[in-house]
Amino acid sequence: MLTHHRDNSAITTARARGFTLIETALATIIVGTGVLAIMSAQQAFFKQNEWSTHASTAQRLGNEIRELTLHLPYRDPVTGDSFWGPEPNEISIEDFDDLDDFDGDDGDGVTFSFALGNGPLNALGLPIPDMAGWSQRVMVEHVDPFEITHVVADGASTTVRVRVIVEYQGVADDAPREITRVAWIAPG
């Protein structure tokens, strides 16, 4: 009897040659989606980390002004309430000897910034180096001592509220953005 043996090796090798086009496309999509998800997660982490770094730096800068003004009287001991803001002979931070000097000439506050070349300031009143883009805006206003959210006319109260608005303007930013505010009450 004659037996016929078929050689199936040709058929087997043809089937085991590689992935089909559909399988390759699906694998590419799955791997690509995974890579994009990892990149997106890293970008979100970077932005969150940047925000927290800016928030802590801003809080520090606000507290530097608080420490700088901690022991200052709310008004000038010589001129009293007759003059609000820096006196004519007080032209720089070294000359400021009371809280009302920090409200500026026009009552809109004083800004210390890297861009202006006068800040931001530390607790000793010295500009902090390498703080490009940062600014501290200080405003002082009289408030009702029994309702500290109610602002009264200059000289109408011996209680003042000092507010420091810390802003940051990055290289790609069009305008500075407020990062934090620090405020405190200074009784007279």
Q: Over the stretch 136-168, which tens digit does the pLDDT of each residue have? A: 999 999 999 999 999 999 888 889 999 999 999
pTM of the model: 0.75
> Within a domain: residue 165?
yes
Instruction: Quote the domain boundaries for residue 100.
Output: 39-187
The answer to whether position 4 is within a domain reads: no
pLDDT (0 to 100) of residue 1? 56
Residue 13 pLDDT grade (very low, low, confident, very high; cuts 50, 70, 90):
low
C-alpha angle 15/19/22, rounded to 5°?
120
Q: Is residue 181 part of a domain?
A: yes
Is 14 a residue whose pLDDT tops 70? no
In this prediction, residue 122 carries a pLDDT of 96
Tell me, yes or no, whether 82 lies in a domain: yes
Total of domains in the chain: 1
CA nearest neighbour of 101 among 69, 143, 126: 69
Instruction: Quote the CA–CA distance of 157 and 149 in Å, as a whole number.
Output: 13
Residue 60 domain-assigned (yes or no): yes
- Is 78 among the domain residues? yes
pLDDT digits (tens, 9 = 90+) for 75-90: 888 877 778 888 888 8
> Would 44 be classed as within a structural domain?
yes
Residue 20 lies in a domain: no
Q: What is the pLDDT of residue 15?
A: 58
